[in-house]
Amino acid sequence: MAFRPSPSSTSSSSPSSSSSSSSSPFDLSNSAKFWIIHGIMAGVAVAAAVGARAYWTRVKKFRNRVVGIIPARFASTRFQGKPLVEILGKPMIQRTWERAKLAATLDQVVVATDDEKIAECCRKFGAEVVMTSESCRNGTERCSEALEKLGKKYDIVVNIQGDEPLIEPEIIDGIVKALQTTPDAVFSTAVTSLKPEDALDPNRVKCVVDNRGYAVYFSRGLIPFNKSGKVNQQFPYLLHLGIQSYDTKFLKIYPDLQPTPLQLEEDLEQLKVLENGYKMKVIKVDHEAHGVDAPEDVQKIESLMRERNLS
């Protein structure tokens, strides 16, 4: 006799089967959504990490090979033989070289000169020397020629003034990093606060910058100059420190740029950069300028070094 389910058994099993079949697609749909969202979020996180790593790798590699060049010439019009003048028993060029060697961003430091006396002096204290021609019109052109003769590939050249025997290594590092992080600039330099007593000194070069930290102008006169014709004791005038760095691609074409009217009038080589439309990044530092422009400055430097217990 064939088995036939009773009506009660048929009705009791049917709802259970119906409930199971109706809830299962809903649960699968939620589960699928969860894993899809989880997968998307994980993918975004991985992509962000890869992108960040690629970005910082590019930043790290941008203009990362740096050489410091100290241009030095014997035949200075204001102070002949200045690089060789002794400051507390050491030639000034040696003191500048020793300070430059402390900069963390420099892969190499060399002296560029056209004078054999300076070259011989530098070799004695261990500096690498590149001989350049007497026709170089300024330190930038001397740096350009020295770079070519070095025969090595660098991204940035730092022009370190040989008459700044107390240059801070942190300033060198600062202008290098400024150029590394400012792709649209081909030149970087540093300024500090101008002392009121230096306001009218033509040997103290002044600078004005825009709101984004790019140079607007340099002058031996006081800038900005107000209509009263007097120094405004409340205005934050800026003093150019002289040290500067260049993108090497720009430095190679710099000697081919013709001298410009403002450059010739002020006798400031950085004005040729601005007059030709190139951008120059400026950093402000807390540093007193201790350049040697005249023989009487030597005694000032020595007194300062004794006060600071610098040998």
pLDDT digit string, tens, across residues 163-189 = 888 899 999 999 999 999 999 999 999
Lowest mean pLDDT segment, chosen from 19-28, 145-154, 217-226, 299-308: 19-28
Predicted confidence at residue 217, as pLDDT, reads 98
Instruction: Find the mean pLDDT for residues 263-286.
Output: 96
List helix spans (H) across 101-237: 116-124, 139-150, 169-180
Instruction: Find the mean pLDDT for residues 25-30.
Output: 54
Q: Which helix (H) or strand (E) holds 164?
A: none
Rounded to whole angstroms, the Cα distance separating 109 from 96 reads 11
pTM over 0.85: no
Q: Is the pLDDT of residue 300 over 60?
A: yes
Instruction: Mention every residue, 6+ apart, whose C-beta is less than 8 A from residue 246.
Output: 140, 143, 156, 157, 159, 179, 186, 187, 254
Rounded to whole angstroms, the Cα distance separating 132 from 111 reads 10
**Closest Cα partner for 165 from 307, 302, 309?**
302
Rounded to whole angstroms, the Cα distance separating 238 from 227 reads 19
Predicted confidence at residue 311, as pLDDT, reads 75
Tokens for 303, please give them. 């007194």
Q: Is the dihedral of CA 38, 39, 40, 41 positive or negative?
A: positive
Q: Is the pLDDT of residue 239 over 60?
A: yes
Confidence label for 288 from pLDDT (cuts 50, 70 and 90): confident
Instruction: Mention every residue, 6+ apart, whose C-beta is less than 8 A from residue 272.
Output: 254, 257, 259, 260, 263
Q: Is the pLDDT of residue 308 over 90?
A: no
Q: Which helix (H) or strand (E) holds 89?
A: none
Predicted confidence at residue 276, as pLDDT, reads 97
Coil, helix or strand at residue 219: strand
